[in-house]
Structure 1
Amino acid sequence: MSAGTSEAPGARRSRLRLVVVQALVLALFGTLFARLWFVQVLDGEAYQAQAASQSVRDIVVQPQRGLIVDAQGRPLVANRTAWTISVDRTTLGRLDDDAAGAVLDRVAGLLGLERAAVEARLLDCTSGDAVAGECWNGSPYQPVPVAVDVERGVALQIQEQPEDYPAVVAVEETVRSYPSPYGVNAAHLLGYLSPITESELDAAEDADDRSVNGASVVGRAGVEQQYDQWLRGMPGYQRVAVDSMGRVIGDDSTIEATPGDTLVTSLDAQVQSVVEQQLASTIETARATRDEVTGRNYVADSGAVVVLEADTGRVVASASQPTYDPGVWVGGISTGDLEQLYSEEAGTPLLSRATQGQFAPGSTWKPFVTAGALTNGYSTDTNLNCSSAFRVGNRDFKNYESGAYGSISFARALEVSCNTFFYRIGYDYWAQYGSDVSDVDAFDPLVEEAKDFGFGTATGIDVPGEASGRIADRAWKQEYYEAQKDYYCTLAEEDGNDFQHRFAREFCAEGYAYRAGDAVNFSIGQGDTIVTPLQLAVAYGALANGGTLYEPRVAKAVVSPEGQVVREIEPTVASTVDLPPEVFGYIDTALEGVTRDGTMAWRMGGFPLDDVNIRSKTGSAEVYGKQSTSWVASYSDDYVVVMMVSQGGTGSGTSGPAVRAIWEALYGVEGETFDPSKAAIPGVVATSALPNFTEDGSILPPARDPQEQQ
C-alpha cells in the first residue's frame, strides 16, 4: 500500500482509545491536584488544627491556692508541699494483665490500702462502675493521684525502685496547711476544700469558666467557699504529644499556672485564740458543774462566741463548739471521719453554732422589747409591778427563782432581769390588739420592733449557710399549724392519755390560736422564737452604734500574688433602726446598770468600767425537756461580744467569766488596770489599713495611722 493510502479503521480506533485514556488520566490528575490544593491551601489551617488536636493533649498544672490571713497579716490558711503518689494509666496499660496487677498490689501494700481502693481511684468518674468521691474526674492523659500527703519514706521507696513500680509516680505538690497562730482553729469561718463534683464541672464548662477543671478542689464552707473564685487561681497546661494510641511521646509546650489571690480577713488571731480557749474551758467547767434544777451536771452540748466591731460589723473573732480540724480534708477524707463530722452523737461538729445554731434568746431579748414599748405607749417614767409571778388564765408565769422587786422602771427591770415586768407588757399589747386569737394580721409592736432589729432574717454575713432564726408571731403559728395539723389530728384520733396524745388533741383543735401565753413568752425571748448568736450580736451592735445594722463581714480585701489590692470589701449597711436617740440612750444607760449593779455585776467586780464602759444583758433561756441556755450579750463603744452555751446554765453564772476575759484581752485589762498597750489588737481597734505585702513575698502588719491611735 502506498504512503498516501488512508489509515486502516482498526488503527484509528486504537488511537482514539489512547486519546480517551490520556484524557481520563489528565482529568484524574486535575481532580487530584484540585483536591490537594483545596485541602492544603484553602482548608489547610483547619486540617492542621484538627491534626494537632489529635496528636497533642493538655495536662493540667494545678495553681497554688491563695493564702487566707488575719488583719495583721498572720497566715490562717497557707500551703505546704506534700508527697503525692500517682499512677500513669497509659504506662500501666502497656503492661500485661499480670504485671499490671502486680504493680497495683505493690502500690496498695505500700500505701496501706486495699487493691480495690486503688483501682476505684483510677476509674474515670464517667464510668458506670465509678464511685462518687473516689473516682478520677481529671484529664485521662495525666497520672491519677491515688494517695496524697504520704510519708517521705514511701515516696522515696517508689523513686529509688522504679523497676518495681513502673507507671507509678511520686511527686511533691502543694496542699492546704493551717499554721494556727496562737493555736487558733477557726474552722467554721475558714472552711475546707474537697474535689469538684460533676455538676459543678458541667456548670463551669457551660459558663466557659477555665479556672476549674476535673482535678480541681473547691471551697466547701466558710470563706474558702465564699471567695473561692479569687483563691483558686488559674490552672496552667503542659502540652504533650501523643501517638495514635494516646500514649505520651514527648513535651510540646507549657503554660504556667497563676497562683490564687490572698484573702485578707478582719479576724485577729490573738483575739480568736482567747475566744476559742474561753469557750472550750467554759463548756468543760459547765460539764463539771451540778445543775440544781435537774440534779445532774450541765450537758453543755454546744456553744458559740461572736466578737464584732460595733461601728463596722466586721468579724473580729467567732468560735463554735464542737468544732473540727479542717486538715482532715487534705488528701481526701475517710468515711469514718466524714461520719464523725455529721454525727449527732459527736455534736454535729460541721454545724457552726454562731451562724447556724438557733436558740431561744431568753432575757437578752428584753432590750428590744423595751425599745418597742418605749415607742408604743410606754415611757421612761413607767413603773410596773415586778411580782414573783404573773397569772395568765390558769397558769402562773414566774420570775427567776420567784424573786420580787415591787414597782420598778424599765431600767431596773433590765438590771434585775424581771420577767413579770415584761410579761405585763406582752399581755397588755395582746389584750389591746390581738385578743382575737385567730386574727393573723393583728398589730403587735414587739414583733415589729424585733423585725426592725433584723431578727427573723439572715444577717447577710459572707459565710455560706447562715440560718435566719424565727420570730414566732401569729403568721408563723398559723403556717406551722397548717403544716402540722394532719399529723397531729391523726394522732389525736388514737386512744391514749399521755402528754403526746393530749397535746395532739389540743393542737388539732386550736393549734393556730395565738394566745396570751404566746404573747407573754415572746416578751421575754421564750417560746418558739429563736435567734443565732450572730443575729443577736448584730442587733446589739445597733444598740452600740445608734441604730445601724451591718451585714457582718469576715473578708476585708483581696490582694493579688504581686501584692496589689484587687478588691476592697467595705462594711455594708443592711438597714437602720428608727428609734429616737433618747430611747437608745435610755437603753444604753440601763444596760450599763446591768454591768455595774445588775445580773452581770458580780462577774465584773474590779473591772475598770470607768475606763472601758461595758454594757451587758444576761439571759437564761428555758427549753422544754432541756437545761437552760446560758447567754451574755455585751458591748462597748468599740466591740460587741456575745456568748452562748446550750444547756449550760445561767447567763452570768456560766458565761460571765469568759466574757470578762474576752473584754480584758480586747482592752489590755489586767486585774483592775487598763493598759491599752497590752491590748490584743495594736491600738485597741484594728486600723483600716491592710497588711504590707513585700516584694520578697513576706506579709508584715499594717502601718497604723497616728490619727487612729486611741
Structure 2
Amino acid sequence: MSFTVIIIIVCVAVAAALIAVFLVFGRSETNFKFDIGGNGPKASGGSDTSAETTTQGRLVGQAAVTGGIFAVLLGKLWSMQLLSSDEYAQQAESNRTRTVSVPAPRGRILDRNGKEIVTNRSSLTVLAEADVANDDIELTLIGNLIGMPALAVKRKVEDSSAGAQSMRSVAVDVSRRVVAFLGEHPTVFSGVSVAERTQRSYPYGSLAAHVVGYTGTVTSDQLNATDSSDEGAVHYSSGDTVGQSGVELQYESVLQGVAGEQTVYVDADGNVLDYSTYVEPRSGSDVVLTLDMDVQKAAEESIVKVAEYQQKAGYSATGACAIAIDCTNGEVIAMASYPTYSPSIFVGGISTSDWEALQSEDAHFPLMNRAISGQYPSGSIIKSLTTLAALSYGIATASSSWYCTGWWTGFGKDYGMKCWWTSGHGEVNLVTGITYSCDVVFYEIGKGFFYDKDNPEGMQDTFKKFGLGSLTGIDLPSEAEGRVPDAEWKWNYWSSATEQQRTWQGGDNCNLAIGQGDLLVTCMQMVDAYAGIANRGPIYKPHVLKSVKSATGSGTVIDYNPEVIINTDEDSANLDIVDEGLSGVVYQESPTQTAHWTNLDVAVRGKTGTAEQTSVGEPVGWFMAFVPAENPKYAVGANMDRVLSGASSAMYVVRDIIGAIYGQPDDVSYDTTNVDR
C-alpha cells in the first residue's frame, strides 16, 4: 500500500469524525435562555432529563468511540506501513522463495609426496523436478534413455532427502549422447535438466581403501549430530554426501566443504517458478596423509601374492594385514588389509546387492580394516615382551637356561605341554629361546609368575605397559582394544562355569607366555610394541594425518605434532638380550629365512609367530621387524589368517615392504613349506 493511499484513508476518517461531531453539536438547540434585560444567562430549569438531551449524549459518546476506533486503526496502519514494512516485506518474500543447497566439492586426500589418493572429477548428472514423478510417460522415456526401469526412476524422483524444492538426482556419469538427446527434446523432457556435479575419484583404485574409507548419504545419526551447538561443528542437510569410514569419516570436518545456496521462487504448492540469487559453494580442504603410495602398493601386492601361494599349498589364507610406521614419530607409512574393496562402488549410491556382498561372511568381510580392528592371538611374537617381563621381575636372568625335550611337565605329568618343535631344542636360554621360539623357555617363565606371590601378574603388567589391551589412539575409526586376560577377567567372563574352571590356573599363565589362550591383540598394537623395543623406551601415537592444506595458497593450516603415548622405561641390558634373540631369528634360525634378509643392505631385527585358532581350525601367521637394527627408523608387521606359519607367510610380506622402503626388492623365491615359528 502506497503512502498516497494512506493519506486518503486518513483524510476520509477525519472527515467522518467531523461530520459526526457536527451532527451532534451543530444542529441541536441550546440549553440556555438569555434575558433581554441584559442579565446574564441562566438555566431555564434544573437538570435536563428530556429525551432530546439523552439522545444527544449518546451521539456524543458514539462519536467519541468511533473516533477512538479510527485512531487505533490509523495508529496500527501507520505502524504496519511505516515502522514494520521491512519485516512484513521479508515475510512475504519468504513465502514465495526457498533456498536450495548446492553441494560443495570435498577436499582431496593426498599421500606424503602429494600423490592424489582421492580426488574429485566432473560428472554429468541428470536432474528432475519433483512433479516429474506424476508423469508416467516422461518417467518411461527417461528410463529408456538412461537404461533404468521406470519404477527406479520414479523412486529417484520421489526422493526428497535433498530438500522439497531441490532437483532430484536420477543418474550420474551419463554419456554425452544422453545430454545431447535431452537438449534436443526440451518439450518432451520439460522437468529434466543436466548439471555438472563432482564425484569422488580414485586414481589408485582400491589401493589404501581401508585407510581413506568411503562416502555416502548422511545418516540420521549424523543429521542429529548437526544439532550440536559446538562452534565449528559441521551442519548437514538431508541428502548431503559425507564420510562413512576411514579418513573420509575421521577428518570429515575439514574435507566437507561449505555448501552453496540457490534461491528459487515457488508458488503456493511449492513448485519452482524461477531462480534468483546464487552463492558459490566452497570446496573442502585437502588432507595430506603420512602414507607412501609406493610402499602401500608393495604391501598390498605382496599380501595378494603370498595369499595365492598359501592357497596353492592348501591353506585358506582368507585374511591378512600389514603395517609400516616410522617408529621415530608414529607416522603410518603403509597400512594394508585383505580382502579389500573399491571405494568407487559407493559413488552415486551403492546397490543393495553390492552392500550385502560386502557384508557377507563368505566374502570374509572386505570392509573390515584388519590392521586396527582384527583381533588375534599373538603367538610367538609376544615372546619378546614375555622375556622383558621375566627379566624385569626377576623370574629369569641373562644366565638362566633350560633343557627342551619337546615335552614339558612343569606342573606334573598330568599337565604336560608340548613345544612346537616336538623333537626338542636341547639346551636353551633367553636369547636362543627367542631365536628358536622354544615354548619350554616361556612355559618356565609362566610357571615362575604363577608361583610369584609378589607379582603374579607381572606378565600382564608388562604387556599392558607396551600398550596391549588398550587403544593405540590412531586417528582412524573402529579401532579394537584387544584383551590381556588375568584372574579377574577369567572369573567374570566364565561366570556360568564351575569355581575351578573360573579360577586362574598355571596353564593359563603358560598359554599367555607364548601368546595363546585368551590373549587378543591387533596388528597395530604389536607394531607399536616392537617400535617401543626399537626405540628402547618411547612409543609414539600412530597417525595417518600429516597435514591439512590451506584452502588458499600453498601453506598448511594444520601440521600433526608427534606425541609420545608410552615410555616403557626398560633396562638397557634387558633390551640387549631381546635384541640379540631377534637378530638370531633373522640370521640364524633358518637358512630359508636368512636368505631373504642377507640380500638387503640394512640389518634387520625380527620375530616369527604362529598362533593356533581353535575356533577356525587353521593358524594365524605373524612377523614383526624393525630396521635398521643399529638406529631403527621403521617398525613393520604383518599377519595372515589360516596359513601354515608366520615364517611361510607374513615374513615375506614384511620383507617386501622393507624392500620397497629401501628400494631393494626380495629376489629369493617363496617357500610355503617353511614351518619355523
2:340 is aligned with what amino acid?
Answer: T
Equivalent position of 1:534 in the other structure:
524
Identify the range of structure 1 (221-230 vs 233-242) with the bigger mean alpha-carbon deviation: 233-242
Distance between the aligned counterparts of 1:164 and 1:313, measured in 2? 60
Equivalent position of 1:141 in the other structure:
165
Note if 1:397 corresponds to 2:432: no
Specify which of 306, 329, 333 is matched with residue 350 of structure 2: 333
Specify which of 217, 220, 223 is matched with residue 195 of structure 1: 217
Note if 1:31 corresponds to 2:53: no
5+ residue gaps, structure 2, are: 1-27, 32-49, 669-677
Note if 1:57 corresponds to 2:79: no
Residues 56 and 241 of structure 1 are in contact (CA less than 8 Å); yes or no, is this contact kept in structure 2?
A: yes
- Aligned to 1:303, the other structure's residue is in SS state strand
Equivalent position of 1:694 in the other structure:
none
Distance between the aligned counterparts of 2:423 and 2:326, measured in 1? 36
Equivalent position of 1:469 in the other structure:
482
Equivalent position of 1:385 in the other structure:
403
Distance between the aligned counterparts of 1:269 and 1:313, measured in 2? 17
In the TM superposition, what whole-angstrom CA distance separates every residue of 1:144-176 from its partner, at most 9, and x where no partner exists? 113233344334332332222221222120010
Q: How many correspondences in the alignment?
A: 612
Distance between the aligned counterparts of 1:580 and 1:27, measured in 2? 98
1:664 is aligned with what amino acid?
Answer: G
Specify which of 45, 48, 63 is matched with residue 86 of structure 2: 45
Residues 600 and 664 of structure 2 are in contact (CA less than 8 Å); yes or no, is this contact kept in structure 1?
A: no
Equivalent position of 2:250 in the other structure:
226
How far the C-alpha of 1:303 sits from its partner, in A, is 0.5
How far the C-alpha of 1:50 sits from its partner, in A, is 2.0
How far the C-alpha of 1:407 sits from its partner, in A, is 2.3
Change (3 A) 1:85 1:431: same
- Aligned to 2:99, the other structure's residue is in SS state strand
In the TM superposition, what whole-angstrom CA distance separates every residue of 1:405-449 from its partner, at most 9, and x where no partner exists? 222221111111101111111112113339xxxxxxx73111110
1:314 is aligned with what amino acid?
Answer: E
Identify the range of structure 1 (619-628 vs 230-239) with the bigger mean alpha-carbon deviation: 619-628
Note if 1:661 corresponds to 2:651: no
Equivalent position of 1:107 in the other structure:
142
- Aligned to 1:544, the other structure's residue is in SS state helix
Residues 234 and 253 of structure 2 are in contact (CA less than 8 Å); yes or no, is this contact kept in structure 1?
A: no
Distance between the aligned counterparts of 1:249 and 1:606, measured in 2? 72
Change (3 A) 1:6 1:451: closer
Distance between the aligned counterparts of 1:657 and 1:604, measured in 2? 12
Specify which of 115, 119, 128 is matched with residue 87 of structure 1: 128
Give the share of equivalent positions with the same residue, in percent: 31
How far the C-alpha of 1:230 sits from its partner, in A, is 0.3
- Aligned to 1:163, the other structure's residue is in SS state coil
How far the C-alpha of 1:545 sits from its partner, in A, is 0.9
Note if 1:564 corresponds to 2:555: yes
Residues 92 and 167 of structure 1 are in contact (CA less than 8 Å); yes or no, is this contact kept in structure 2?
A: yes
Distance between the aligned counterparts of 1:622 and 1:606, measured in 2? 25
Change (3 A) 1:379 1:305: same
Specify which of 505, 515, 520 is matched with residue 510 of structure 2: 520
Distance between the aligned counterparts of 1:172 and 1:460, measured in 2? 40
Kindly report which structure 2 residues correspond to 1:241-260, keeping only aligned pairs within 5 A, or say none. Answer: 241-260=265-284
Equivalent position of 2:426 in the other structure:
406
Distance between the aligned counterparts of 1:609 and 1:382, measured in 2? 34
Residues 378 and 516 of structure 2 are in contact (CA less than 8 Å); yes or no, is this contact kept in structure 1?
A: yes
Change (3 A) 1:12 1:470: closer
Equivalent position of 2:452 in the other structure:
432
Change (3 A) 1:630 1:210: closer
Equivalent position of 1:372 in the other structure:
389
Change (3 A) 1:386 1:153: farther
Specify which of 438, 448, 456 is matched with residue 469 of structure 2: 456
How far the C-alpha of 1:26 sits from its partner, in A, is 5.1
How far the C-alpha of 1:24 sits from its partner, in A, is 6.7
Residues 184 and 272 of structure 1 are in contact (CA less than 8 Å); yes or no, is this contact kept in structure 2?
A: no
Change (3 A) 1:12 1:428: closer
1:532 is aligned with what amino acid?
Answer: T
Note if 1:640 corresponds to 2:635: yes
Distance between the aligned counterparts of 1:302 and 1:202, measured in 2? 36
In the TM superposition, what whole-angstrom CA distance separates every residue of 1:513-545 from its partner, at most 9, and x where no partner exists? 211211111110011111111111111111111
How far the C-alpha of 1:279 sits from its partner, in A, is 0.5
Distance between the aligned counterparts of 1:523 and 1:266, measured in 2? 34
Residues 548 and 558 of structure 2 are in contact (CA less than 8 Å); yes or no, is this contact kept in structure 1?
A: yes
1:235 is aligned with what amino acid?
Answer: A
Residues 211 and 234 of structure 1 are in contact (CA less than 8 Å); yes or no, is this contact kept in structure 2?
A: no
- Aligned to 1:316, the other structure's residue is in SS state strand
1:84 is aligned with what amino acid?
Answer: T
Residues 211 and 235 of structure 1 are in contact (CA less than 8 Å); yes or no, is this contact kept in structure 2?
A: no
How far the C-alpha of 1:23 sits from its partner, in A, is 6.4
Residues 184 and 273 of structure 1 are in contact (CA less than 8 Å); yes or no, is this contact kept in structure 2?
A: no
2:160 is aligned with what amino acid?
Answer: W
Specify which of 331, 336, 354 is matched with residue 319 of structure 1: 336
Equivalent position of 1:363 in the other structure:
380
Residues 267 and 316 of structure 1 are in contact (CA less than 8 Å); yes or no, is this contact kept in structure 2?
A: yes
How far the C-alpha of 1:14 sits from its partner, in A, is 11
How far the C-alpha of 1:398 sits from its partner, in A, is 1.4
- Aligned to 1:400, the other structure's residue is in SS state coil
Change (3 A) 1:598 1:457: same
Change (3 A) 1:16 1:560: same
Change (3 A) 1:581 1:628: same
Distance between the aligned counterparts of 1:206 and 1:268, measured in 2? 36
In the TM superposition, what whole-angstrom CA distance separates every residue of 1:493-532 from its partner, at most 9, and x where no partner exists? xxxxxxxxxxxxxx44533121121111111001111111
Alignment RMSD: 2.7
How far the C-alpha of 1:330 sits from its partner, in A, is 0.2
1:317 is aligned with what amino acid?
Answer: A
Equivalent position of 2:671 in the other structure:
none
Equivalent position of 1:705 in the other structure:
none
Note if 1:307 corresponds to 2:324: yes
Residues 266 and 273 of structure 2 are in contact (CA less than 8 Å); yes or no, is this contact kept in structure 1?
A: yes
In the TM superposition, what whole-angstrom CA distance separates every residue of 1:34-60 from its partner, at most 9, and x where no partner exists? 112211233333323322322221111
Specify which of 473, 478, 481 is matched with residue 494 of structure 2: 481
Distance between the aligned counterparts of 2:564 and 2:176, measured in 1? 51
Equivalent position of 1:212 in the other structure:
236
How far the C-alpha of 1:300 sits from its partner, in A, is 0.8
How far the C-alpha of 1:629 sits from its partner, in A, is 1.2
Distance between the aligned counterparts of 1:671 and 1:327, measured in 2? 32
Residues 118 and 201 of structure 2 are in contact (CA less than 8 Å); yes or no, is this contact kept in structure 1?
A: yes
How far the C-alpha of 1:665 sits from its partner, in A, is 1.5
Change (3 A) 1:7 1:428: closer
Distance between the aligned counterparts of 1:210 and 1:647, measured in 2? 43
In the TM superposition, what whole-angstrom CA distance separates every residue of 1:563-597 from its partner, at most 9, and x where no partner exists? 33111112222111121122222212221121111
How far the C-alpha of 1:207 sits from its partner, in A, is 3.0
1:550 is aligned with what amino acid?
Answer: Y
Equivalent position of 1:491 in the other structure:
none
Distance between the aligned counterparts of 2:256 and 2:157, measured in 1? 25
Kindly report which structure 2 residues correspond to 1:575-586, keeping only aligned pairs within 5 A, or say none. Answer: 575-586=566-577
